[in-house]
Structure 1
């Protein structure tokens, strides 16, 4: 029986199927932790893919490897090897020819020696003058011919990898095939540049000339990409040489390509490609140094590698607006950084797709942002932290399905009706059943059989709903003094508490710097500190009053978190006016809004952060004027103070109609 034989190798069909998947929820929690610590939401999401979740390999690691490879490429060698190589071959050919001439006594030999002595120092000019020279040495003739044939081969092979074998013949038939291909190629590119449909023309071109393109491009765009990068590398080589070297190499290439159609068609191809891909580094030179002189092919290959690494660095940087991981060329990553790096990019792409598929993030023109689902999780995390600080305290209410069901018992009951969710009054329900059986004439009281009409429910206080305005200071001092994260955590925690445990209440978060604005959960999570000076509490209280008046049947509550006295107010034209120290007009405008809220019946509690004596005097005066309270928590206790104050006030709220 023949034994089975197996061969094992690297997996090449996409991402490694045995690689552990990223934990999507853990990634969301990691972003949430950083947001609650005060970091920017977009920075946290961007760093997730830059560092990789759970400190895995991310884009930053790949960029570091690309930068290292770029530094190594810059030390690969000198770019003038094509010129110095041609000079070395010419010197060797001339020396060989001189040896041959010294062994001859005829006048022709002496004349040829004079020709060699009079050769110009320029390599290109010397090669041109020797074009019609009658070589006495076959070896010297071969060395001279190698200068032009080798350079011609290098130039054309650098543009078209598939021409390597075709050019070895060097006969007229080969040249005709190459010229025919270049003519069709330039015609195809010109039609594509005019916006014509070139799908069928591309297919026909590949059928005729596909042997010259072993990479087998799928579309005309793929063909243009490949050719343009090579052409740009050739142009970069010329820009990287000194003016004298550039002139030498240019003249040598012109002589190598000859006066036939090849030189003109290659120049036309370069112009077409430059027009189709103007963003490539056509005119940018590079300074490369190393122990070796690089020939034309090696030099352009090194420059092409540098250009591709530069593209990868830009793609991996994800700096431009709307950048996504789909912008990263995974094939280029695999070519330059290896298969493991390409797998890392694929896993990061899959993480981003999975975050979007599961509804944790969404994409807008500015990039990724947390979805409402993720914001709820973030709020739940913030609330859990606050409640952890409230250990040993009563946690408040549970999730509600009916606003009246969560009130305190008042001692009375009523008949049950379909849809009631109040607690069953067990004693009265059983008493009703026993009395009903007795009224029916039955002497047996056990077992007690309950009918629907026997049930009674305990009546509870129906609590009034509340309209709550949480005004949070967004001035730069909040960020500079480490209060930005606790402020966000407090607002998100209170928002989640209201949404889940007090759904009858209406919460509006209002941020204020030089101006005030209403914020959603997502906007609050994403908001970043602004360097513009100003603490416009007056505008915030004005917006709070509008929110309260939109809910006239609810109890009005205003909570203010700030670390500085008001330094800005709105003028009659709606523009904010800032001054430090605060002007009497600013204080007066702010106090007017306090009076408006007080007359409306709002409770105004202030949470003062820091030890500013001027702020202390201001908040004490506001609290006394409005009948509110002042709290001075440490920044780490801010969430506990705010949530606990809200829960205590909510628990003691008066019943409706009282």
Structure 2
């Protein structure tokens, strides 16, 4: 079955949106400290290499709004009236001068009336309402003034009326008057809550030709009329006091009868009562040289209102904002089809990201990275760690899942230097699939290096790892927040992908400590509370060790400050700066409990504070631990290297200081 839909612009043969660039940018921003929600929004705002973002579209909207205000002024109708009035007076003077049959007294009286016209255009038009024109051309110019005013006033409320009523007959004008009477009657009835669908259908059947928008119900009709009526009021508000006064005086001359203005005033009152939320009181400052008539000016004010709505939609700054809120039809009207195509592509990109399994919205509505996305980010960080470790030691990245141990049940492509046994079924399957894809037929299967997969092994020793990361005020203030998060994600990814038997507990500690899942820690905004509660963090770490009595405890502590808080027996936090002796004693006591549980402890000291260095050195000596003082860029490599070194030490009983010598021996990273 074929399905057809309206062509929405753009290249119909263009491929689906590519989310790879977006995912890379979002991941980079997340690791730079943005929450996933903010990272997503920032990419959509910036756009991609070949894709305009929301900021570019919003900038174009602002430029369009500014251009409308700087190009136009609101004096167009008044200027047209002045020109027609001048034409009528000039033609009348010509006629009076050349008409030799006219009585001299009559000529003198007419010339006196013309000479004494008010300099005010509206007053002059009013004074000439009863003048007996001698010139046919002058009379036609004056009648055109009244016709122009009527068409402009109607065009303010009903788009296109100025053109539709050009050259209209008295019957056409009466039909308009009847439509206005019926419309006001319908709106009166609606405002009283007495209208029915049949009333609307009857009105549209009789007067539908005046509403090209083709509203389907009374609410759509009200929306259309109220938006334009409110724009007309904003146009009036934008005029000078003199312009408003002159225009109101001229309006009484529309079609030569005040009845039109009475009906229009009633219509405005009905619309304002039905749609009080429209902007009836705003105004704009026009400063251009191109005069606008009443109808065109109202249209420009509608355009400006629509541009303001688009600006708000593109800024996405209101609660619950979504790219689906962007009115693509309005964007196309104001900026052209390509702008609508760009916005729709961003909408599709956001949807593709959600559908890709990389991003999802939680129950609170915030965008979050899925576990799949976290794994990809972690792998990227591990690649960086691998380069730093191998570069520092002068070794290549050997890819074995464990130097010795049991088969893990998984396999991976063979790489130069691998000594693990082949996974024969997977290798043969790869070769068959490749040859079928190449169209090869014949007896036997030919293997290539790319077909080979080897079996992975896992180390037999199990570890209970506690990574304690400082989230105190100083970590955020001194730029250590992001390296801390990158380090935690790299270690988490390594353990989950290559050492699945190990149990990792992530513990953050600021004024108090808490265990955290990696998703929460990665998305954690900077915490500005003062306090470094190492005592509480060690309590949680020791609880983790006790839950795994058969595993080797590994304690990794990343901090940039001495303990300034501890947990009281009742659960309250005690904070003191400089560090209180009780806080130090409690922290040391709990650290020694970790040693009694058999924990291998490594401190990662950030910063160059001599007092901190002395304190951490003394703490490490008490528990026979190690101290590493890495640069921020090397923090991830230092923590991962220490963890891998501890695994090597458990297998070989070798000890070392500083960075480990073997970094887990070859095999922790599989790309």
Give SS of 1:161's match.
coil
Query: Which one of 314, 320, 328 corresponds to residue 330 of structure 1?
Result: 328
Q: 1:250 to 1:393 in 2, by over 3 A?
A: same
SS in 2 for 1:17: coil
The residue number in structure 1 matching 2:247 is 249
**Residue number in structure 2 paired with 1:456:** none
Residues in 1 aligned to 2:107 and 2:484: alpha-carbon distance in whole angstroms: 96
* Cα distance per residue 1:104-132 (max 9 Å; x no partner): 55545544555555554443344334333
Counterpart of 1:563? 560
Where structure 2 has 5 or more consecutive residues not aligned to the other structure, the ranges are 1-5, 410-420, 423-456, 653-671
Q: CA deviation at 1:76?
A: 0.9
Query: Of the candidates 394, 401, 413, which is equivalent to residue 398 of structure 1?
Result: 401
Deviation at 1:99?
4.8
Aligned residues: 594
Query: Quick one: structure 1 residues 136 and 586, their matched pair in 2 at CA, closer, same or farther if it must change by over 3 Å?
Result: farther
Q: Distance in 2 between matches of 1:510 and 1:195?
A: 63
Deviation, structure 1 residue 386: 1.8
3-state SS of paired residue (1:354)? helix
- Structure 1 residue 308 displacement after superposition: 2.0
Cα drift, residue 469 of structure 1: 2.7
Alpha-carbon distance, 1:608 to partner: 1.1
Match of 2:36 among 15, 32, 41: 41
Shift of 1:46: 1.2
1:625 Cα shift?
Answer: 3.4
Q: Distance in 1 between matches of 2:458 and 2:332?
A: 68
Is 1:385 paired with 2:384? yes
Determine if contact 1:509/1:519 at 8 Å carries over to the other structure: yes
3-state SS of 1:390 partner: helix
Instruction: Kindly state the Cα deviation for residue 337 of structure 1 after the two structures are TM-superposed.
Output: 1.5
Tell me which residue corresponds to 1:455: none
Q: 1:115 to 1:483 in 2, by over 3 A?
A: same
Distance 2:147 2:523 in 1: 63
The 2-side partners of 1:288 and 1:385 are apart by 57
* Structure 1, 269-278 or 615-624: larger mean CA deviation: 269-278
Cα distance in 1 between the residues matched to 2:248 and 2:180? 21
Q: Does 1:66 align with 2:64?
A: no
> Which of 48, 71, 76 is residue 81 of structure 1 equivalent to?
76
- State the partner residue of 1:447: none
| Structure 2 residue corresponding to 1:469, chosen from 460, 466, 471 | 466
Q: Distance in 1 between matches of 2:607 and 2:96?
A: 98
- Which residue of the partner structure matches residue 492 of structure 2? 495
2:433 — aligned with what? Answer: none
Determine the C-alpha separation between the residues in 2 that align with 1:404 and 1:215.
74
1:335 Cα deviation (Å)?
A: 1.5
In 2, the alpha carbon distance for the partners of 1:81 and 1:302 equals 13
**What residue number does 1:53 align with?**
48
Match of 2:628 in 1: 631
Which position in structure 1 is the counterpart of 2:20?
25
Partners of 1:15 and 1:346 within 8 A in 2: no
Match of 1:301 among 299, 302, 318: 299
**Equivalent in the alignment of 1:235:** 233
Residue 343 of structure 1, CA deviation: 1.3
Does the C-alpha gap of structure 1 residues 271 and 148 become closer, same or farther in structure 2, counting only changes over 3 Å? same
1:262-301 correspondence runs (5 A): 262-274=260-272, 280-301=278-299
The 1-side partners of 2:649 and 2:165 are apart by 93
CA distance in 2, matches of 1:622, 1:279: 67
Go from structure 1 to structure 2 and tell me whether the alpha carbon gap of 1:194 and 1:598 turns closer, same or farther (over 3 Å shift): farther
1:195 Cα offset (Å)? 8.8
TM-score by length of 1: 0.78
Aligned-residue RMSD, C-alpha: 3.9
User: CA deviation digits over 1:400-423, x for unaligned, max 9?
Assistant: 9xx97669xxxxxxxxxxxxxxx9
- CA–CA separation in structure 2 for the residues paired with 1:539 and 1:119: 93
**TM-score by structure 2 length?**
0.77
Q: Per-residue deviation at 1:330?
A: 1.0
Cα deviation, residue 33, structure 1: 2.4
Distance 1:132 1:280 in 2: 41
Q: Is the CA contact 1:188–1:198 (under 8 Å) kept in the aligned structure 2?
A: no
Q: Render the CA deviation track for 1:366-422: whole Å, top value 9, x for unaligned.
A: 55332222122212222232223333378797399xx97669xxxxxxxxxxxxxxx
Checking the alignment, whether the CA contact within 8 Å between 2:511 and 2:531 is kept in structure 1 is yes
| Cα displacement (A) at 1:225 | 4.3
Question: Aligned partners of 1:197, 1:484: CA distance in 2, in Å?
Answer: 64
1:607 counterpart = 2:604? yes
Q: CA offset at residue 615 of structure 1?
A: 1.9
The equivalent position to 2:311 in structure 1, one of 297, 310, 313, is: 313
Check the 8 A contact 1:227/1:273 in 2, yes or no. Answer: yes
Give the Cα separation in 2 of the matches to 1:92 and 1:244. 23
Supply the distance in 2 between the matched residues of 1:139 and 1:521 (Cα, whole angstroms): 86
1-side partners of 2:590 and 2:181: how far apart?
Answer: 79
> 1:461-540 maps to which residues of 2 (within 5 A)?
462-466=460-464, 468-540=465-537
Distance 1:622 1:141, change over 3 A: farther
Q: Which residue of 2 aligns with 1:451?
A: none
Q: Name the SS for the 1:633 alignment partner.
A: coil
Aligned equivalents of 2:191 and 2:386: distance in 1?
A: 65
Verify the 8 A CA contact 1:464 1:654 in the aligned structure 2.
Answer: no
C-alpha deviation, 1:482, in angstroms: 3.8
Contiguous gaps of at least 5 residues in structure 1: 1-10, 408-422, 425-458
**Deviation, structure 1 residue 323:** 1.7
Deviation at 1:496, TM superposition (A): 1.5
Aligned equivalents of 1:278 and 1:196: distance in 2?
19
Q: What's the offset of the Cα at 1:492?
A: 1.0
Q: Summarize the Cα distance change of 1:199–1:373 in structure 2 as closer, same or farther, 3 Å threshold.
A: farther
Kept in 2, the 8 Å contact 1:397–1:406? The answer is no
Q: How far did residue 491 of structure 1 move?
A: 0.9
Q: How does 1:98-247 map to 2 (within 5 A)?
A: 98-101=93-96, 105-116=103-114, 119-161=117-159, 163-164=161-162, 167-168=165-166, 170-171=168-169, 173-182=171-180, 185=183, 205-217=203-215, 222-247=220-245
| TM alignment of 1:342-361, pairs within 5 A | 342-361=340-359
What is the alpha-carbon distance in structure 2 between the residues aligned to residue 380 and residue 222 of structure 1?
A: 54
Equivalent pair of 2:466/2:504 in contact (CA under 8 Å): yes
